[in-house]
Amino acid sequence: MTTLEVPVYMFASQYTNNGNPNPAYESIERVMNEYVSIAASDIDHADCVRITKGEISMNEYYGQNGKLNSYPRIRASFVTKVKREELRPTASFSVVFMIGNQGFKTDAEGVETDRYEITGFVPQYGEKIDVVPFVVLNKGVIDAVSNYWNQGDTVKASGKLNFSSYSEATTVETDFGEPEEQIRTVVVSDLVITGGSQTPLEGDFALNEDDVKAALARRKEQLNALKDRNANRGTSGKAPAASGSKFGALGF
């Protein structure tokens, strides 16, 4: 059992395009003004909620060191209050994406680990594409995706969110005397695939490769513009490195 802390980002305009009140805005406002949180009360009196239409997206920005920071986040517009006796705590997802590349992660020495990673192209509103990292940890699932899924396939995957943190201790030698122990907090934002479709989606259910490439090219332009704006503020950095895949020149 792992205690998860999953941030859910919510945004909605107050009115729709035709000037009517936006139900999504009213839902968010109700959460802010009426729902009771653990922070405002305690875990026994906080409200229980269910989010059934969340979205996986990426938060991407350049830090002061010029390095691109990119990590998954969950967005939603509607939250439903549920009775505590009906609560079945889970943090799961189902998503359709195109495979960019996949393989076992290597450590600093270039040795393969048991962590299997998949880069997925997830469609977003406005003909945008997010480059989303997924991870597979179960050996049976790794065998399945490595045998059945290929670059350019559109697949449907299900899985679990692992938004958590843990403490990691390292020992640092000093010039004299006893070594110094340093504790750092490691934040995890993993999208763990636990199952999915064996065969690729086809026809209208599949993402168009040319459309994906065009969206990735627009994403690269936006990231370069963001990098240039940071450089003008006195920071500098390199653009995202290109991978060896057929999508690699498009900045992921």
Higher pLDDT, 70 or 2: 70
Q: Is the pLDDT of residue 244 over 80?
A: no
Q: Are 113 and 105 in contact (CB under 8 A)?
A: yes
C-alpha span between 165 and 140 (Å, rounded): 26
* 104 Cβ contact list (under 8 Å, min separation 6): 112, 113, 114, 115, 116, 117
Q: Is the pLDDT of residue 236 over 60?
A: no
Q: Are 188 and 165 in contact (CB under 8 A)?
A: yes
Tens digit of pLDDT for each residue in 96-151?
A: 999 999 999 998 888 999 999 999 999 998 899 999 999 999 999 999 999 999 99
* 241 within a domain of the structure (yes/no): yes
* 174 within a domain of the structure (yes/no): yes
* 90 within a domain of the structure (yes/no): yes
Q: Give me the pLDDT at residue 52, please.
A: 83
- The domain tally of the chain equals 1
Rounded to an integer, the average pLDDT of 25-29 is 92
Q: Is the pLDDT of residue 19 over 70?
A: yes
* 2 within a domain of the structure (yes/no): no
The count of C-alpha atoms lying within 13 angstroms of the C-alpha of 32, restricted to the half-sphere facing its C-beta, is: 10
CATH of the domain at 232: 2.40.50.140
* 1 within a domain of the structure (yes/no): no
* 20 within a domain of the structure (yes/no): yes
Encoded amino acid at 242, one letter: A
Domain with 41 in it: 8-250
* 30 within a domain of the structure (yes/no): yes
Tens digit of pLDDT for each residue in 157-179?
A: 999 999 998 888 888 888 888 88
Q: Give me the pLDDT at residue 242, please.
A: 47
